[in-house]
Amino acid sequence: MPADPERFELPEELREFRTLVRKIAEERIAPRAAEIDETDEWPEDVYKVLVENELMSVGYPEEHGGSGGGSLAFGVLIEELSRVSAGVSLTPLVAKLGVIPLAVAGDTAKEAEMTRGICRGELLMSYALTEPGAGSDPASMTTRWRRDGDEIVLSGTKRFITGAGVSHAYVVFATSDPELRAKGVSAFLVMRDDPGVSFGRKEEKMGIRGSPTREVILDDARIPADRLIGEEGAGFRYAMRTLDYSRPAIAAQALGIAQGAFDVASRYATERRQFGRPIAEFEGIQFMLADMAMKLEAARLLVYRALALCDAGDPRMTYTSAVAKCFASDAAMAITTDAVQVLGGYGYMREYPVERMMRDAKITQIYEGTNQIQRVVIAREILRGIQASAG
């Protein structure tokens, strides 16, 4: 039963799916969450849990070996995993991010091959767009590509690449000429063991630990010419369209982090006693919990609607994806900060998970386009609609 983006109610089968994922997350992932954060080691054992329970196949077409469900089911998965461990949620999230450009480009053969590998637990993917000098302005990338007979040669460095080193396959964006900016960008499928591919040191991050972040270094890396994704010169368009699909997934991650923090804070407020009674009876705490709950409810509706519009291929995706990502991530930062405050001194200690959730929440305001960029996108879409109606 498809969801109606205009009058949203989560279908029964997705409510049942949420219950299943939550059980797995609480029993198999939550007990490892603090250790994963502390050691910052990629958790192979938890990845196997995702594969064994067929969670790595959620959101992919059945004809490519997936279990279906589309963007909405995938968003529910990411939300529930993020509720206990944002770092773990990045394993399926970034794999899907790697496949989206292949689907957007209509490169069905590569999409099917990569999807089957991901669903079977045989490979992982990463998305390599950001560079040291090209973050919010990806059209200014300097990673170059050129043809050499039947091969493509790639030279440059991609920075802050999630999953780098662990992932087997990378969607790499490169330009034929930096002067051409967006018009010169093409996309390529690069494998970890291709000649000339290496990785920088693992970054020491504030949050989303347990998910490796490294540079992808391309030193005259050689790949077969048929690894070009889609059309030559269309890479920037593929990258931007990918973000329309991936931003709601980041919003779902932010939503899950926020829900996890709210759960801890509200439960703690009923148990912690001061002045002879639970702190939940004090109006100051009640107002904080009420504000947190309102932000959660609003974020959830925005996120689910954006995911449903992705499944519908609705032309409003660019606008709704940016709105959902921006609002949900801002809400997550506010809610996790308030959760630390509700717990007081205990909230500042690693014995409780809210300080980790606060650290994890921050990145959702930054990656997949900073929230300042989201506001630019939102305003642009508003003004474009006004101009179109006036014309």
Identify the pLDDT of residue 8: 58
368: annotated active-site residue: yes
Question: pLDDT tens for residues 325-345?
Answer: 999 999 999 999 999 999 999
Beta pairing, strands 169-175 & 125-128 = parallel
Instruction: Of 241, 212, 227, give the one whose Cα is nearest residue 169.
Output: 227
| 8 A C-beta contact, residue 289 and residue 258 | no
Q: What is residue 325's predicted lDDT score, i.e. its pLDDT?
A: 98
pLDDT of residue 321: 97
pLDDT score, position 10: 85
Catalytic residue among 80, 131, 355, 368: 368
pLDDT digits (tens, 9 = 90+) for 187-199: 999 999 999 999 9
Strand, helix or coil for residue 149: coil
The low-confidence residues of the chain, meaning pLDDT below 50, are 1
pLDDT of residue 390: 80
- d(CA 180, CA 200) in angstroms, rounded, equals 28
Q: What is the pLDDT of residue 3?
A: 58
Q: What is the pLDDT of residue 389?
A: 81
Q: Is the model's pTM score more than 0.85?
A: yes
> Is there a contact between 102 and 93 (Cβ–Cβ < 8 Å)?
no
The pLDDT score that the predictor gives to residue 388 is 83
Tokens (6 digits) for 28: 């198999």
Q: CB of 255 within 8 A of CB of 300?
A: yes
Q: Token digits for 66?
A: 């997936």
Please give the sequence-ordered ranges of beta strands (E in DSSP) within 70-163, or none if there are none. 125-128, 144-148, 151-162
